[in-house]
Amino acid sequence: MLQGQLNERHFRWDARSGLAQPAGGKRRRPGEIVTAMPGLQQIHQLGNADPQTAISLHIYGVPQADIATGVNITVPPAATQPDTEAAISSPD
């Protein structure tokens, strides 16, 4: 996170239903770094937490052929939450 704040909603993959189940979230602040492995272990959704501009940098260290198969996979959510704040945990 470079500037501003983002709400990160977490999901867990339910292979049986083929849907991403809501699993909490976290507010991301400047200076925070997050890492993830390719696959469906760390499904998340990011949204701007404030009216101010937010800037984040995403670096994918996987072979180019795996971008569409290991990261940036779009999956259907089990349910939508119109209130993004409801999915975000309180600040640590």
Mean pLDDT, contiguous 10-residue spans, the chain (92 residues): 94 91 95 87 90 90 71 74 47 46
Q: How many domains does the chain have?
A: 1
**Residue 68, in any domain of the structure:** yes
Residue 91 lies in a domain: no
- Asked if the structure places residue 20 within a domain, the reply is yes
Report pLDDT for 58: 87
pLDDT at 84: 45
Asked, for residue 85, whether it belongs to a domain, the answer is no
What is the CB-side half-sphere exposure of residue 22 using CA atoms within 13 A? 16
Question: What is the pLDDT, as a whole number, of residue 88?
Answer: 52
What per-residue confidence (pLDDT) applies to 82?
47
Asked whether residue 86 is domain-assigned, the answer is no
Domain that holds residue 17: 6-79
At residue 40, the pLDDT reads 86
Of the candidates 8, 14, 45, 53, which has an alpha carbon nearest to the alpha carbon of residue 28?
8
